[in-house]
Chains A and B, each alone.
Chain A
Amino acid sequence: MPEQATARAATVEFEHVTKHYERREAKDGALGAVNDLSLVVPAGKICVLVGPSGCGKTTSLKMVNRLIEPTSGRILLDGVDAAARDVTELRRSIGYVIQQVGLFPHQTIAENVATVPRLLGWPSARQRQRAEELLQLVGLDPATYATRYPVELSGGERQRVGVARALAADPPIMLMDEPFGAVDPIVRERLQDEFLRLQETLAKTILFVTHDIDEAIKMGDLVAVLADGGALAQFGRPAEILASPATPFVARFVGADRGLKRLSLRRVDDLELLPPVTANVRDMGTADLLRALASSFPWLLLVDDLGRPAGWIARGDVRPGVPLADAPTVAAEPLVDRSATLKDALSRLLDADVHAGIVVDRERRVRGLVTVAGIAALLRETAGPDRGPGEADPLDLGDAMP
Chain B
Amino acid sequence: MNIKQLISFLVILSTPTLTVAASPSIDEIIHQTNQMAYYQGRDGRAKVKMTISDAQKRTRTREFIILRRDEPASDDIKNQAYLGEQKLYVYFNRPADVNKMVFMVHKKINSADDRWLYLPALDLVKRIAATDKRTSFVGSNFLYEDVSGRNLQEDRHALIGADEQYYIIENTPVKADEVEFSKYIMYIHKTSFLPIQTKYFDKQGNLYKSYTALAVETIDGHPTITKSNAINLITGSSTLMEYSAVQYDVGLPDNIFSERFLRKAPRQFLR
A associates with B = no
Binding site for B on A (CB under 8 A): none
Binding site for A on B (CB under 8 A): none
